[in-house]
């Protein structure tokens, strides 16, 4: 998972060809979130109540980065739902009730508010549930951010692995890479732009150096290479992303131009 940051260092040498808009701001203003897909599989004998239920689901997901459709499968015993990202299924639901909170949740709403208010990013610390693993990594995170010149534009959010209100959000975070679901380690996700999560730092990879590299990436001048091959994955969320506040990080660079060469 730390390969991402080796890649960031390689990209740094190309930033001389970049525009002066910072990565975090450019992505927020210009990059639409990638779409998820939700499919309801059912037989041709779908009931009127199920059709109405699916109409309600479609209405609820209208402003989210997701496409919803139904598909007929005659051998299905009962209707069910499948959630995919980049055409790869990663979650299955046996009824519509399990879809509650699919495209929005309290933590996601707070994160979006911070990004729309001009913050550089929100660093989401997903706990493992093992305090012996979580506490030292969380301390490193707090200390690193507290001593960063960008500390005022970075928000920290802690997330319990078993938070029932955030089950869908957690599932999406653990789908950012295909080897995360079975990894019982604390993870740190940098969330920026229109709810894009970088590949996480995990366990002993949560170091001051790696956190600094994440900040370096987000505060770097954007480049065509970044625009064409943006790292991370989009998170499902209901938001039109209209009229964000000016990026706060620009004021920090204006006050201390030496940071432009950090």
pLDDT digits (tens, 9 = 90+) for 35-93: 999 999 988 877 888 889 999 999 999 999 999 999 998 887 888 999 999 999 999 99
DSSP at 175: T
Does residue 7 register a pLDDT over 90? no
Amino acid 262: pLDDT: 54
Counting every residue written for the chain, the total comes to 262
Nearest to 86 by CA among 26, 23, 33, 31: 33
Amino acid 131: pLDDT: 97
Per residue in 194-246, pLDDT tens?
999 999 999 999 999 999 999 999 998 876 556 567 899 999 999 989 999 99
Which tokens belong to 44? 């041709």
Q: CA-CA distance, 15 to 2, in Å (whole number)?
A: 21
Amino acid 16: pLDDT: 45
Amino acid 224: pLDDT: 56
Domains by residue range for the chain, with CATH:
3-32+105-261 (3.40.30.10), 36-99 (3.40.30.10)
- Split at pLDDT 50, 70, 90, the class of 3 is very low
* Residues 84 and 36 sit within 8 Å (Cβ to Cβ): yes
- Split at pLDDT 50, 70, 90, the class of 33 is very high
Residues 13-32, mean pLDDT to the nearest whole number:
76
Helix axis angle, 208-219 relative to 23-30, nearest 10°? 50
Which tokens belong to 244? 């964000």
Amino acid 221: pLDDT: 82
Q: CA-CA distance, 128 to 168, in Å (whole number)?
A: 17
């Amino acid at each position: 998972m730390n390969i991402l940051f080796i890649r960031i260092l390689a990209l740094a040498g190309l930033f001389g060809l970049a525009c002066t808009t910072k990565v975090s701001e450019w992505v927020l203003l210009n990059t639409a979130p990638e779409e998820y897909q939700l499919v309801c599989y059912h037989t041709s004998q779908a009931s009127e109540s199920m059709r109405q239920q699916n109409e309600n689901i479609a209405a609820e997901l209208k402003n989210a980065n997701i496409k919803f459709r139904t598909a007929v499968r005659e051998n299905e015993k009962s209707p069910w739902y499948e959630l995919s990202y980049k055409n790869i299924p990663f979650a299955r639901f046996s009824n519509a009730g399990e879809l509650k909170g699919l495209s929005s949740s309290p933590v996601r709403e707070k994160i979006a508010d911070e990004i729309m208010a001009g913050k550089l990013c929100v660093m989401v610390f997903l706990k493992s549930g093992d305090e012996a693993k979580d506490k030292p990594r969380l301390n490193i995170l707090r200390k690193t951010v507290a001593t960063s010149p960008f500390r005022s534009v970075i928000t920290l959010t802690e997330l319990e692995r078993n938070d029932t209100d955030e089950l869908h959000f957690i599932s999406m975070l653990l789908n950012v890479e295909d080897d995360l679901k079975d990894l019982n380690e604390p993870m740190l996700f940098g969330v920026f732009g229109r709810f894009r999560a970088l590949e996480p730092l995990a366990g002993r990879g949560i170091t001051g150096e790696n956190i600094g590299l994440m900040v370096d990436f987000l505060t770097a001048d954007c480049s065509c290479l970044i625009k064409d091959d943006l790292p991370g994955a989009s998170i499902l969320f209901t938001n039109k992303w209209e009229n964000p506040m000016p990026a706060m990080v620009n004021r920090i660079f204006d006050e201390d131009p030496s940071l432009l060469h950090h």
